[in-house]
């Protein structure tokens, strides 16, 4: 049996799963801390992709280096969106939070998508670097430079997030607020400020994901919905609010899709994600990494 195609699919599944993971982590962070379901997350990923594309096109800055610009820009956008829209939701009860955040973020998705079409048309765009299409071949298995770079950046972003949440005061405040916002408030934590920081970081992570998507795929105003759905599937697989677990769940989904392509063909790629989604909901509703 020739294992080379299997290994090649698993390698690509790992790289794609890394993108799923980094796209889902920001969504998971926002929900875990604020109990707000931001379905505009995919549209923010799309904006991150466009920001990286234009920085590369206008200034010739490598898309991986451009993340150092894209992430802060999306952080500021997340700050503005929270102050202008989502802070009014955080004062509601948990059920009302989810309902109202769904309505607000769905409307925001439509606004951002149509704004992107108005500004940049609906054409697909790609970030084509000098090393695009090149890679390393080991034992017959291809490792593209762009995919390896995207995966490495995704892992680095998750590591920095983990360090921030566990070692900094602001990160510990975010974790405490996610556990019990009332107790956190009694301990002197400014809960509303923590919400702003968490939402802005989640948006910045969407910007990082968008920049990496722009390197590995094409970007267009319509990609937002697809990436929101992927992120939601990954978040459910990991467990709602499981931040670092979302990255592992993203890799699991990427590998499952890669194997399904090899076994059943590319037409069944999307089906495997839905099957995993339903199985986890039935057998382990708290998610693979969530607590009972």
DSSP 40-99: THHHHHHHHHHHHHHHHHHH---HHHHHHHHHHHHHHHHHHHHHHTGGGTTTS-HHHHHH
Q: What is the pLDDT of residues 125-162, one digit of tens each?
A: 999 898 988 999 988 889 999 999 999 999 999 999 99
The Cα–Cα gap between 149 and 145 comes to 6
Number of C-alpha atoms within 13 angstroms, CB side, residue 245? 17
The answer to whether residue 292 sits within a structural domain is: no
The answer to whether residue 70 sits within a structural domain is: yes
Q: What is the pLDDT of residues 199-210, one digit of tens each?
A: 999 999 999 999
CATH of the domain at 80: 1.10.3470
Instruction: Provide the domain limits for residue 157.
Output: 4-283
The answer to whether residue 53 sits within a structural domain is: yes
Percent above pLDDT 70 for the chain:
98
Element of type H or E holding 230: helix 223-238
Confidence of residue 1 (pLDDT cuts 50, 70, 90): low
Contact 127/53 with Cβ under 8 angstroms? yes
Alpha carbon 46 to its chain's center: 11
Q: What is the pLDDT of residues 80-122, one digit of tens each?
A: 999 999 988 888 887 888 899 999 999 999 999 999 999 999 9
């590995």: which residue's tokens?
216
pTM: 0.94
Domain count, the chain: 1
Find all residues with CB under 8 Å of 3, minimum gap 6, and list them. none
- Which whole number is the average pLDDT over 183-187? 91
The answer to whether residue 291 sits within a structural domain is: no
Q: What is the pLDDT of residues 166-182, one digit of tens each?
A: 999 999 999 999 988 89
The answer to whether residue 154 sits within a structural domain is: yes
The answer to whether residue 152 sits within a structural domain is: yes
Q: Count how many residues are written for the chain.
A: 292
The answer to whether residue 259 sits within a structural domain is: yes
Closest by CA to 234, choosing from 19, 89, 35, is: 19
The answer to whether residue 288 sits within a structural domain is: no
Arithmetic mean of pLDDT over the chain: 91
Q: What share of the chain is helix, strand, coil (3-state, %, to 5)?
A: 75, 5, 20
Q: How far from 10 is each of 27, 87, 278, CA to CA, in Å?
A: 26, 42, 23
Find all residues with CB under 8 Å of 110, minimum gap 6, and list them. none
User: For residue 39, what pLDDT is reported?
Assistant: 94
Confidence of residue 291 (pLDDT cuts 50, 70, 90): low
Return the SS3 of 135: strand
User: For residue 161, what pLDDT is reported?
Assistant: 95
Using the CB atoms, write b or e for 7-33: b if 16+ within 10 Å. ebbbbbbbbbbbbbbbbbbbbbbbbbb
């Amino acid at each position: 049996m020739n294992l080379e195609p299997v290994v090649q699919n698993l390698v690509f599944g790992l790289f794609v799963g890394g993108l799923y993971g980094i796209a889902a982590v920001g969504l998971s962070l926002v929900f875990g801390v604020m109990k707000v379901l931001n379905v505009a997350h995919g549209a923010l990923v799309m904006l991150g992709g466009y920001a990286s594309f234009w920085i590369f096109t206008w200034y010739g800055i490598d898309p991986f280096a451009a993340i150092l610009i894209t992430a802060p820009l999306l952080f500021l956008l997340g700050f503005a969106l929270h102050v202008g829209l989502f802070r009014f939701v955080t004062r509601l009860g948990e059920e009302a939070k989810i309902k109202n955040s769904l309505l607000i973020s769905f409307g925001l998705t439509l606004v951002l998508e149509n704004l992107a079409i108005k500004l940049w048309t609906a054409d697909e765009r790609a970030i084509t670097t000098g090393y695009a299409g090149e890679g390393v071949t080991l034992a017959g298995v291809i490792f593209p430079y762009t995919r390896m770079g995207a995966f490495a950046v995704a892992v680095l972003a998750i590591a920095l997030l983990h360090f921030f949440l566990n070692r900094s005061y602001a990160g510990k405040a975010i974790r405490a607020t996610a556990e019990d916002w009332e107790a956190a408030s009694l301990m002197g934590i400014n809960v509303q400020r923590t919400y702003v920081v968490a939402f802005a970081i989640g948006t910045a992570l969407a910007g990082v994901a968008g920049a990496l998507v722009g390197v590995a795929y094409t970007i267009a105003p319509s990609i937002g919905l697809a990436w929101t759905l992927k992120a939601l599937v990954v978040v459910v697989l990991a467990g709602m609010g499981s931040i670092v677990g979302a990255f592992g769940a993203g890799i699991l989904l990427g590998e499952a899709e890669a194997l399904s392509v090899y076994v059943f063909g590319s037409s069944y790629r999307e089906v495997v994600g839905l099957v995993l989604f339903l199985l986890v909901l039935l057998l382990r509703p708290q998610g693979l990494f969530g607590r009972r």
